[in-house]
Chain A
């Protein structure tokens, strides 16, 4: 089946620093999604990307859909303590309902 390689697995940063994480795939996806999950809660959709090359922002978050449709990155600028959590990328195929998830990036922000 398809696999997403998400990196880094974990990040420890100081408050105010910028963060970057990315996902790569051996297959093409039609849609790239980025979710954040807090402990004991469900994933919350942060950004959805629909077109190759698309660059989308949501507040301090910016994500891009790679030109090859096989990769995506998420940047967080000026991190704050509430950014702590696990960030998952997910790819949605052209036809079909299955999401393929990355393994997640655990973000820790030291105040």
Chain B
């Protein structure tokens, strides 16, 4: 299984809503990532989890809250978002050996629209 899955595929939410994005991988990877991507731009790193611990937070606003319940799952909790947060949210995973990280595999993304 070389797949990263993400749900939902599309999400429309109001600025007062609370929603969650989910990501799952069964490749045995111990690093998982959240990215935000605007149209025709490269992905921008938001968070990195390594061995289920948050290792990087790229100064992301607190209205985005990541969670890694176990080595296969990664969630992104959303609350009080702004319209400018509308984007494609990508999850990725990679193998890691101590401090050596391998290539990242991306999921299909969640297209988020904030009204």
B40 lies within 8 A of A86 (CB): yes
- Indicate whether A102 sits within 8 Å of B50 (C-beta atoms), given known contacts A96-B99, A97-B94: no
- Indicate whether A98 sits within 8 Å of B45 (C-beta atoms), given known contacts A86-B40, A104-B40: yes
Among B60-68, B70-78, B100-108, the stretch in contact with A: B100-108
A45 lies within 8 A of B105 (CB): yes
B42 lies within 8 A of A88 (CB): yes
- Indicate whether A92 sits within 8 Å of B106 (C-beta atoms), given known contacts A86-B40, A97-B56, A102-B42: no
SS of A interface (majority): strand
Could you say which residues of chain B place their CB within 8 Å of the CB of A63? none
A97 lies within 8 A of B48 (CB): yes
Q: Is B21 an interface residue (CB 8 A)?
A: no
Could you say which residues of chain B place their CB within 8 Å of the CB of A31? 102-103
Could you say which residues of chain B place their CB within 8 Å of the CB of A40? 88, 109, 111
Q: Using a CB-CB cutoff of 8 Å, which residues 42-56 of chain A contact chain B? A: 42-45, 48
CB closest chain-A residue, reference B105: A45
A97 lies within 8 A of B50 (CB): yes
Instruction: State how many residues of chain A have any CB contact under 8 Å with chain B.
Output: 24
- Indicate whether A101 sits within 8 Å of B106 (C-beta atoms), given known contacts A92-B101, A95-B100, A96-B99: no
B103 lies within 8 A of A33 (CB): yes
Could you say which residues of chain B place their CB within 8 Å of the CB of A88? 42
* Residues 94-111 of chain A, each 1 if its beta carbon lies under 8 Å from chain B, else 0: 011111011110100000
B88 lies within 8 A of A96 (CB): no
Alpha-carbon gap, A45 to B102, bound state (A) = 12
- Listed from nearest, the 6 A-B pairs whose CB atoms lie closest are A101-B42, A42-B106, A97-B101, A48-B103, A95-B99, A42-B109
Can you report 20 A-B residue pairs in the complex whose CB atoms are below 8 A from each other? A31-B102, A33-B104, A35-B106, A40-B88, A40-B109, A42-B106, A42-B108, A43-B90, A43-B106, A44-B106, A90-B42, A96-B99, A97-B33, A97-B50, A97-B55, A97-B56, A97-B94, A98-B45, A104-B40, A106-B40
**Residues of chain A at the chain B interface (Cβ within 8 Å):** 31, 33, 35, 40-45, 48, 86, 88, 90, 92, 95-99, 101-104, 106
